[in-house]
Amino acid sequence: MKKRLFTPGPISVPEDVLLEMAKPIIHHRTPEFLQIAQQAVEGLKYFFQTKNDVFIIAGSGTAAMEASVVNLLSPGDKALVISGGKFGERFVELIKTYNCEPVVIESGWGNPVDLRLIEDTLNNQPEIKAVFATLVETSTGTSYDIKGIGEIVSRKPETVFVVDGISGLGAVECRTDQWNIDALVSGSQKALSLPPGISFISISEKAWTKINNSKMPRYYLNLKKYKKAMEKFDFPFTMAVGLVVGLRKSLENIKQEGIENLWQIHRRRALAVKNAMASIGLNLFSKSPSDAVTAIVLPEGIDGEKFCSDMRKDFGMSVAGGQDKLKGKVIRISHFGYQDEFDTIAVIAGIELMLNKYGYKVEPGTGVREAMKVLFSI
């Protein structure tokens, strides 16, 4: 059976990237590797839409999230977190772990955030040193107004704006410099179409001032070490050589496609799934659905966990279940990674078949038809 990954990371990796990574491993302190790293970092700047420094960290996305906290804050600092799901909550946990004080604006799972609340909080508590937000909250499939938040934070010269773009970057519009993002975090196993294992962080001039003055203890994630090494396109510690080789290839593909086209492709896939689900009577969980991940509410009485494991067993399709309070209630489909229009059709067909198996009667092809209209403009 053919295996298809629709999980919001890890995702399927394109053959040309897999073949690059299958080449013999080279040493990480050689001119050959440093040139690959240089090209990868230049590609990342395009991917991030930034002229700022971008660093590669060997570690999953959470490592880069942790890097933002330990470099930009000092113990005791107050930081505002906009949280509406599992990964917003992760920022809160990280901030507490390092003895800083989170001030949380809870948007509610699946809801967008009220920008006036952010502005009022920053006006009332000028001691807030950083604002943390998420581009796409993977647990709910929700997009946040990062541009709007960035505008507000940019008016505060002492406050930096940190964004978790792990799920969204490359799938939805995000312009680091234009949107005043001081630190943008991302990971390899999402829209970059790579295996998991490396993460990224961009740092603005404003953020460097914070880093240089920070009193937080840190070692592996000390970005000053990364900056020094990056002068020669080197890394302070042994880099994940194979993944960086794959990264260079993947970024080359993205550059060729064009980042705006990539956003458009994801928009079309997400719309196809949304219309397909509406046609069979299923709702999306999010009130501000993203083009990166779609969370679909299952009909009452269907166990999401079992639904996902049967999708895998019966059709070879991996979709994700719900997390925490959404466990068993939703399924989540990613639109990033090595997928094409026919994969989107396949997952919709799989969902229709599985719903019928569970007694929720759907005329086969109803959702597929709606999706085809979007995907193929028919």
Q: CB 228 → ligand PMP: shortest distance, Å?
A: 25
Cβ count within 10 A of residue 306: 13
Q: CB 281 → ligand PMP: shortest distance, Å?
A: 28
Ligand-binding site membership of 116 (annotated): no
Residue number with CB closer to ligand PMP (8 or 367): 8
Q: CB 79 → ligand PMP: shortest distance, Å?
A: 16
Residue number with CB closer to ligand PMP (165 or 367): 165
Beta strand extents in 18-107 (DSSP E only): 53-58, 78-83, 101-106
Residue (of 5, 12, 44, 39) closest to 233 by Cα position: 39
The secondary structure of 156-194 as a DSSP string is: -TT-EEEEE-TTTBTTB---TTTTT-SEEEEETTSTT--
Q: Is 224 exposed, middle or buried (0-12, 13-18, 19+ CB in 10 A)?
A: middle
- Report helix, strand or coil for 332: strand
Residue number with CB closer to ligand PMP (68 or 167): 167
Q: CB 312 → ligand PMP: shortest distance, Å?
A: 18
Question: ∠ CA 163-166-170 to the nearest 5 degrees?
Answer: 100
- Contacts with ligand PMP by CB under 6 A lie at 9, 60-62, 87, 134, 138, 164, 166-167, 187, 196
Beta strand extents in the chain (DSSP E only): 4-5, 53-58, 78-83, 101-106, 128-134, 136-137, 142-143, 160-164, 183-187, 198-203, 293-297, 317-318, 320-321, 330-334
Residue number with CB closer to ligand PMP (6 or 208): 6
Residue number with CB closer to ligand PMP (39 or 62): 62
Q: CB 249 → ligand PMP: shortest distance, Å?
A: 20
Report the residue closest to ligand PMP, judged by CB.
Answer: 61
Residue number with CB closer to ligand PMP (20 or 164): 164
Q: CB 138 → ligand PMP: shortest distance, Å?
A: 3
Q: Which residues are annotated as a binding site for substrate?
A: 332
